[in-house]
Amino acid sequence: MNKLENARDYIKQNKDRVNPAYRPEYHAAAEIGWINDPNGFCYFNGEYHLFYQYYPYASQWGPMHWGHIKSKDLVKWEQLPVALAPDMYYDASGCFSGSAIEVDGKLYLMYTGHIDPDPGNPVNIRQIQNIAVSEDGINFEKIAENPVIGTKDLPEHALVQDFRDPKVFRRGDEFYTVVGSRHVDGSGQILLYKSENLIDWSYLGVLARSKNKFGKMWECPDLFEIDDTSVLIMSPQFLQNDGDKYCNIHSGVYLLGNCNLENCSFDCNTVDEIDGGFDFYAPQTLLDENGRHVMIAWMQMWDRTLPTNVKKHGWAGAMTLPREIKIVNGKLHQIPVEEIKQYRINQISYNNIMVEDFLSLEGIEGQKIELELTIDSQEAVKFGLRLLMDESNATVMYFDRKEGKFIFDRSKNGEDLGGVETNESKMGIRKTAVELWDNKLKLRIFIDRCSVEIFIQDGERAMTSTVYPSDTATNIEFFSDKQIIIEELNKWEIKL
Ligand code: FRU
Q: What's the pLDDT score for residue 205? A: 98
Task: Specify the residue with its C-alpha closest to ligand 1, atom 6.
Answer: 96
Distance 96 CA to ligand 1 centre (A): 6
DSSP tag of 324? E
Residue 206 to residues 254, 285, 407, Cα–Cα distance (Å): 17, 21, 38
Q: For strands 461-466 and 475-494, give the pairing.
A: unpaired
Please choose, from the candidates 216, 214, 213, the residue with its C-alpha nearest in 3D space to the C-alpha of residue 184.
216
d(CA 369, CA 107): 35
Mean pLDDT for 426-450 is 96
Pure H helices in 212-263: none
Distance 162 CA to ligand 1 centre (A): 10
Going by pLDDT thresholds of 50, 70 and 90, the confidence category of residue 193 is very high
Mean pLDDT for 433-451 is 98
DSSP 268-285: EEEEEES--SS--EEEEE
CB atoms within 10 A of CB 6: 15
328 phi, psi to nearest 5 deg: -125, 125
Q: What's the pLDDT score for residue 211? A: 85
Task: Specify the residue with its C-alpha closest to ligand 1, atom 9.
Answer: 219
Task: Specify the residue with its C-alpha closest to ligand 1, atom 8.
Answer: 219
Distance 37 CA to ligand 1 centre (A): 7
- The closest-lying atom of ligand 1 relative to the alpha carbon of residue 53 is 12
DSSP 177-205: EEEEEEETTS-EEEEEEEESSSSSEEEEE
- The closest-lying atom of ligand 1 relative to the alpha carbon of residue 281 is 7
Mean pLDDT for 287-307 is 96
Q: In 125-141, which positions are buried (b, 16+ CB within 10 angstroms) versus exposed (e)?
A: bbbbbbbbebeebeebe
pTM (two decimals): 0.98
Q: Is 390 labeled as catalytic in the residue annotation?
A: no
Q: What's the pLDDT score for residue 474? A: 98
d(CA 488, CA 373): 5
Which of 39, 55, 97 to mutate to test ligand 1, by most ligand atoms within 8 A of the CB atom? 97
Q: What is the pLDDT of residues 397-413, one digit of tens each?
A: 999 999 999 999 999 98
Q: What's the pLDDT score for residue 280? A: 98
Pocket of ligand 1, beta carbon within 6 A: 36-37, 53, 64, 96-97, 112, 164-165, 219-220, 281-282
Q: What is the pLDDT of residues 22-62, one digit of tens each?
A: 999 999 999 999 999 999 999 999 999 999 999 999 999 99
Distance 148 CA to ligand 1 centre (A): 19
In this model, does residue 424 exceed pLDDT 70?
A: no
DSSP 42-70: EEETTEEEEEEEEETTSSS--SBEEEEEE
351 phi, psi to nearest 5 deg: -130, 145
Q: Are 483 and 356 in contact (CB under 8 A)?
A: yes
Q: What is the pLDDT of residues 224-280, one digit of tens each?
A: 999 999 999 999 999 999 999 999 999 999 999 999 999 999 999 999 999 999 999
Domains of the chain: 3-336 (2.115.10.20), 351-494 (2.60.120.560)
In this model, does residue 426 exceed pLDDT 80?
A: no
The mean pLDDT value of the chain amounts to 97
Among residues 9, 16, 37, 275, the one annotated as catalytic is 37
Q: What's the pLDDT score for residue 109? A: 98
Please choose, from the candidates 442, 481, 482, the residue with its C-alpha nearest in 3D space to the C-alpha of residue 460.
442
Q: What's the pLDDT score for residue 374? A: 98
Q: What's the pLDDT score for residue 127? A: 98
In this model, does residue 338 exceed pLDDT 90?
A: yes
d(CA 100, CA 186): 29
Mean pLDDT for 127-135 is 98
